[in-house]
Amino acid sequence: MKISSLAEVHQVFLSFRGDQLRYSFVSHLLDAFERHGILCFVDKDELRGQNMTNLFVRIKESKIALVIFSTRYAESSWCMDELVMMKKRVDKGKLQVIPIFYKVRATDVRGQTGEFGDKFWELAKTSRGYQIMQWKEALECISNKMGLSLGDKSSEADFIKEIAEEVERVLFEILRKAAKDYQCISFLLDKKRKMYPIFPESKKSWKWSYQFLKCKRSRLKREKTNKV
């Protein structure tokens, strides 16, 4: 594991309703991310004509998902399917999600009410029951997390700055934990190599090494018994 590997892929996956926010709020947010050195993936970076599998791969590559809930977010089945994939990654402990409530109430997202709910139920009319259940579970899960909210009379410039700072903070925590885990693993490996010179460098030799040590312990135990 390399600590630098976090910088080799997109650090943040951005999920939002493109027709509503791409050339306004999101474009300014991406400028802020660039100034802060945050690597971010948005669907315009993906080749046109590709299916959603490629977006799911990008989600798996990312350390953080930023979900911008707006009034029209739930009208897109693509946005909702992205959200389901994020929930799966969150449940496995492999992704951190920061919900952003852009001029929409968290309670409306969580309960599919208000203007947000109207768009969701319009989409539900042309969707399958299993899909709707997954979408509702994902909305409840993600909207329940600690996030940031922008009201109708709030400053978008200040809000964008707040988002960038929060993403930086979460990325720092991820890097700090990765560094700590790396140091712990290195320490344990070094300790085992000193205790057992035959401790393998490659994973392929682990099974053989384990069997060798097991046989050695059994032999010593038998010798001790015979002496008694």
State pLDDT tens for residues 174-186: 888 877 766 665 6
Q: Which of 8, 75, 82, 173 is catalytic?
A: 82
Q: 66 forms bridges with which residues in the sheet?
A: 14, 98
State pLDDT tens for residues 69-115: 999 999 999 999 999 999 999 999 999 999 999 999 999 999 999 99
Q: CB within 8 A of 179, min separation 6: which ones? A: 3
Q: Over 80: is that where the pLDDT of 7 sits? A: no
How are beta strands 64-69 and 148-150 bridged, if at all?
unpaired
CA distances in angstroms from 25 to 42, 79, 148, 157, 228, listed in the order given: 13, 17, 14, 9, 80
Is the pTM for the entire model greater than 0.85? no
Do residues 112 and 136 make contact, with C-beta atoms less than 8 angstroms apart? yes
Give the type of residue at 223. Answer: E
Distance of CA 201 to the CA centre of its chain: 31
State pLDDT tens for residues 132-159: 999 999 999 999 999 999 988 889 999 9
pLDDT for res 179: 76
State pLDDT tens for residues 199-221: 444 444 434 444 444 454 555 55
Q: 13 forms bridges with which residues in the sheet?
A: 41, 65
Burial of 217 (0-12, 13-18, 19+ CB in 10 A): exposed
Q: Which of 57, 82, 54, 58 is nearest to 68 (CA)?
A: 82
With cut-offs at 50, 70 and 90, classify the pLDDT of residue 50: low
* 28-48 core/surface letters (b: 16 or more CB in 10 A; e: else): ebbebbeeeebbbbbbeeeee
82 is catalytic: yes
